[in-house]
């Protein structure tokens, strides 16, 4: 299962993600985010992670990241664009299927899990990354119920915005692994 930890702001957080077995890290380039890093620092984080773990450049629009998107394996944006490695993120059913993955963001960055999952979501499982308010306590039910390609976590594995907790990251990835092995 693909498991991404988003909002990475430091090199040690990349090391933790690799050690714990996450599939990918997300680096946020949206200037209004509490997890925002500059374009130059995003490039450094991506270069450091290359060959160790997949990297995802995250923002609302492609314009926020266009000068460093080529440094990342994937581009996650909340608008449809024909770009290489697109992870199209939305809380609405996508009008297009020309993307690598579709991220259903149930909370649109608010970090609140909504158990009311639309029926159409099941049509996208093979390319679906589920996000929005996931934590070590609810991720198992999402994996078992929806059976997505992957899941994404951010705020629930933090001590404070942008400051990841090794222990919380460990508990989250263990919950994901347990859900997969007990299927």
Question: How many angstroms separate the Cα of 180 from the Cα of each of 128, 144, 162?
Answer: 16, 8, 28
**Cβ–Cβ < 8 Å for 36, 57:** no
Q: Is the pTM of this model over 0.85?
A: yes
Residue among 65, 45, 49, 47 at smallest CA distance from 57: 65
Contact between residue 141 and residue 175 where contact means Cβ atoms under 8 Å apart:
no
Pick from 98, 146, 142, 157: nearest CA to 120: 146
Domains of the chain, each with CATH number or no CATH: 2-181 (3.20.20.70)
Q: What is the DSSP string of 113-145?
A: ------GGGGGGGGGEEEESS--TTTHHHHHHH
pLDDT in tens, the chain (183 residues): 999 999 999 999 999 999 999 999 999 999 999 999 999 999 999 999 999 999 999 999 999 999 999 999 999 999 989 899 999 999 899 998 899 999 998 765 555 566 778 999 999 999 999 998 899 999 999 999 999 999 999 999 999 999 999 999 999 999 999 998 865
DSSP-assigned letter for residue 49? H
């Amino acid at each position: 299962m693909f498991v991404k930890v988003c909002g990475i702001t430091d090199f040690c957080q990349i090391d933790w993600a690799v050690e714990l077995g996450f599939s990918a890290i997300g680096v946020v380039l949206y200037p209004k985010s509490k997890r925002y890093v500059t374009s130059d620092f995003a490039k450094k984080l991506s270069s450091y992670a290359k060959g160790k773990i997949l990297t995802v450049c995250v923002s609302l629009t492609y314009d926020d990241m266009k000068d460093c998107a080529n440094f990342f394996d994937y581009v996650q944006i909340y608008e449809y664009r024909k770009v290489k490695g697109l992870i199209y993120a939305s809380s609405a059913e996508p009008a297009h299927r020309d993307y690598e993955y579709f991220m259903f963001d149930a909370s649109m960055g608010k970090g609140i899990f909504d158990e009311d999952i639309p029926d159409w979501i099941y049509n996208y499982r093979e390319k679906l990354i589920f996000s929005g308010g996931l934590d070590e306590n609810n991720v198992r039910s999402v994996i078992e119920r929806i059976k997505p390609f992957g899941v994404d976590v951010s705020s629930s594995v933090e001590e404070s915005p942008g400051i990841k907790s090794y222990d919380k990251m460990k508990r989250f990835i263990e919950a994901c692994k347990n859900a997969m092995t007990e299927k």
